[in-house]
Structure 1
């Protein structure tokens, strides 16, 4: 810990005993880290004990436990309340920071949020990251609301921009001035919702292309197991943002596209849930009583059947270096010459 330690790293963790130690150690290893706050969100394994075992004795680690699971939004809000550092960094419990991450970010100015490149890696390949990720140029650019929304709309057969995966460092004073916290009703898209509301409030969101965040790709990730109701709450969050004054016509149109995209997914899932749980007649009765949902249901079923028949179209390849995949394009100093 140094006099320039200004970052609080917040980690929401549920049943993450196998990975939380690595996450905590990577956060404590950054000289700019003033605090690491782990919120054990009702785990039934040894998550808390494993987090404590990763403590380096510097007094920077704070572990808070929820007796019952309250979701990542509530856990992160509790961590923000418990911390004091002027900068807040998000780290998922199965992910890790690469050495020097915060130094690259702190070299930039004029931002309220700043995010860097992400390397996606399978658990068995984590050891390759230290040698496979080079010193990429920062290549800073600003992210506006329009590009952010576009990067969060996926289409069948196409690789979305994955902008929603970014893990920014946020200025606490911006969050406080605008009364921003995670929406605790959300268990899906809580990050998207917070960042969208921040951009609506005028946040300067900067992206750099150097890589400092390792995201572990897991087939059993909790984020991939959302409920049908989670989709409903997410499109309702879009509707709340659409009620904000001062949106441009373009911003409103894109928000409506995202809302419709999520709502269509909800309608299809809800129809299939009814069919599986209550029978085909109940599902058909729902469709007949909600004609606005019929295009999403019919279109979704048709698309599913088409994909099952011909196979999904291969997604657009993402930037890679060796066996590693990156969210953003990467460029080394050698590429500049």
Structure 2
């Protein structure tokens, strides 16, 4: 009997996800109007993650047991290579999707002849506060297609604009394979941004479905809850590789420069915070003097505790410095 190609392959990178994986898989299998397969790439978990995934073997769920821990990008690449669906959908192991999500997204993408589709996120916090959507449905309805310049600019670090990088896209599998695209395994934060940017830089069109269909869980302990200096360094190197591989038009290049400045400021900010923690006044002054805009990031919640300690240093910075683009409203992005 000939096996029918599924409409969707769900790509699930999992690491010690025993507490949430079954719920994620169940939501993927509950999709209406499309056929699905679920591929779980276990990144050397030490809990019952593999056993849970294996228990679904008779329901079109495939377990890939990775030989070494390589991070979310490596796990996703393994799953991507094993996928057979017409469309690829990334699903984090602690998130869920609504039953009609893929039917809506694929329908919108195929009607437009697009190779990518994203939809609204429903943000669910572990503290039990009421869920909220990342964007209003009206704002997304007024933006039927996401362009590369807008996507890059929205992914500037610590900016006020909503970040399209948090959205969970689906990709036309044939387009991904035709161009040999894979996630950048050097990144532990931001690999999903770079992957989508690469697809768009190759001419992939991205439509937007305004109805929220992805439930994004914010929990303590995800990789990106705390942004470290080496994460930003890796993102800077990832962007350099991106620019070597793709030629951007003027608008996208300007957006890329905007993002690069934000990464440099963010890097200086983390160094500044470490200087203060180390009680290195000379180091803090040197960092602030070389990149005054980094001081503005002290308005973020992560730095409130050291705000008073830095008050004398802030007086060294010109009040005329243009810092209006930074407000410290951040959400965690899971790897």
Structure 2 length normalisation: TM-score?
0.77
1:280 correspondence with 2:284: no
Distance in 2 between the 1:245 and 1:99 partners?
A: 36
Q: Offset of 1:3 from its aligned partner?
A: 5.7
Pick closer, same or farther for the CA change 1:96–1:300 going to 2, 3 Å: closer
Distance in 1 between the 2:190 and 2:285 partners?
A: 26
Following TM superposition, the consecutive aligned residue runs of length 4 or more in structure 1 with deviations greater than 6 angstroms are none
Pick closer, same or farther for the CA change 1:96–1:178 going to 2, 3 Å: same
Distance in 2 between the 1:244 and 1:48 partners?
A: 36
Q: Which sections of structure 2, spanning at least 5 residues, go unmatched?
A: 312-325, 331-335
Bigger Cα displacement from structure 2, 231-240 vs 299-308: 299-308
Q: Offset of 1:143 from its aligned partner?
A: 0.6
Distance in 2 between the 1:166 and 1:46 partners?
A: 28
What is residue 68 of structure 1 aligned with on the other side?
Answer: 68
Pick closer, same or farther for the CA change 1:315–1:186 going to 2, 3 Å: closer
Q: Offset of 1:184 from its aligned partner?
A: 0.5
Distance in 1 between the 2:71 and 2:77 partners?
A: 10
Structure 1 segment 1-337 matched on structure 2, within 5 A = 5-31=6-32, 32-53=34-55, 55=56, 57-58=58-59, 60-108=60-108, 109=110, 110-123=113-126, 139=141, 141-155=144-158, 158=160, 160-244=161-245, 246-273=247-274, 276=277, 280=280, 284=283, 293-295=290-292, 297-300=294-297, 304=303, 308=307
Q: Offset of 1:119 from its aligned partner?
A: 0.7
Q: Offset of 1:208 from its aligned partner?
A: 0.8
Specify the SS of the correspondent of 2:58: coil
Pick closer, same or farther for the CA change 1:69–1:298 going to 2, 3 Å: same
Specify the SS of the correspondent of 2:216: strand
Q: Offset of 1:35 from its aligned partner?
A: 1.5
Q: Offset of 1:111 from its aligned partner?
A: 1.0
Q: Offset of 1:77 from its aligned partner?
A: 0.4
Distance in 1 between the 2:250 and 2:69 partners?
A: 40
Q: Which sections of structure 1, spanning at least 5 residues, go unmatched?
A: 317-337
1:64-95: CA deviation from partner (whole Å, max 9, x where unpaired): 12243211110000101112222110000110
Distance in 1 between the 2:263 and 2:7 partners?
A: 37
What is residue 329 of structure 1 aligned with on the other side?
Answer: none
What is residue 331 of structure 1 aligned with on the other side?
Answer: none
Q: CA RMSD in A?
A: 3.5
Distance in 1 between the 2:64 and 2:96 partners?
A: 20
Structure 1 length normalisation: TM-score?
0.77
Pick closer, same or farther for the CA change 1:271–1:141 going to 2, 3 Å: same
